[in-house]
Structure 1
Amino acid sequence: MAPKTIKLKEKVILKLIKEIRERPCLWNSNHEDYNDRLQTITAWKQIKAILKIPDDVLRIKWKNLRDTFKREFRKYNTESLEDYPGKWTFFKYMWFVHEPDYPVVPVSDGSLDSDDSEQNEGVKSEPMESEYVDETAHEEQDPMPVKKRRLSEENEYDLMFLKSLAPYFKELDLMRKLVLRSKMQDMILNELAAQASQNNSFKTS
């Protein structure tokens, strides 16, 4: 199953939020280790080991959670957590993104604050998807429209692909970089022109 099609169970999402909150290098722009490459890689490896879920799934889910929180925050212009009138399930647990020192919001079943005994029982490092996928997840848990969410995820994959080319690009000297950029731009323009031509042919047929 592709990462963008995976819906995590609520308990797993709460664990993910808890583990990320404990690692400010992943979210707190005022922290000294924020965006430090070594620290962030280490943090994601730790979370992956704890949750037993592929890190690409976790990263995408965290981005969706963060983006949804910011969107809800702007939508309701919320000054305090108590004033939030929306229905997004995870808003209160994500409040620390806005207010880093805010106390941890407790969970009724203790799934966010308590230790998971499974971690000490030899759980497989690569679980079956059914161990963390919520097949009955309701769409209202994520207020972002499906179409916009898909576009956002597609843009994320495009960006990840382009970033994967960066190490090879850095190996080139300045002139070769300029040549490659020119070729890439020409290829994109050609594909856009071909796409426009094809779309026009469909409209006139």
Structure 2
Amino acid sequence: MLMENIISAVYERKALWDPAHPLHKNAVVLKNLWGEIGQALNTPEKIARNKWKNARDYYRRELKRKEVRGQNEEPVSSTWPYFQQMAFLRDVIMADMDNCDKQFSTLPWPRTLQRSPRPAGKDRKEGTPGKRKREEEEQEAAEDDMHFFKSLMPHMKDMPSTKKLRLRAQILDLFLLQEDDELEN
């Protein structure tokens, strides 16, 4: 019952859930709105806010599941009891997911990942560089990699944490694919 009341209370306060609302980024207004909700429901503001965040995140996951299942032509339905009540968020969340996909597709990703050069063996007779030379090469490779990752920071700065996690997972997947390719060759 409390969850239904929280969802209804948030729905009535559009600034809390609609990024297009002019007061959506005003921290003072948002804090006051959460205070109103806590007072109206006779529950601590922090608990109401956490329950809302969990419900919103769960609704987002359910939408993603429906979207994936819908692509497979399987029946699409959610058994979560608050799914229909949270439907007012659908357009906002779908727009957010679309923006995330577009943002990732426009990043200047290389087609293949290049591994940093590995230091040569210690056998000097084969013409391998000395220890100091290897250390310099390793340091240059590490600096090059660091510059690349730092170049991504402006793109990631304003990205919500869930999108950052998705991006990091995609980067790790690319590394794993590169490792698999090297093992096959």
- Bin of the TM-score, shorter chain as denominator length: 0.3 to 0.5
Pair member with larger Rg: 2
Query: When the two structures are superposed, what TM-score results if normalisation uses the length of structure 2?
Result: 0.44
Query: When the two structures are superposed, what TM-score results if normalisation uses the length of structure 1?
Result: 0.40
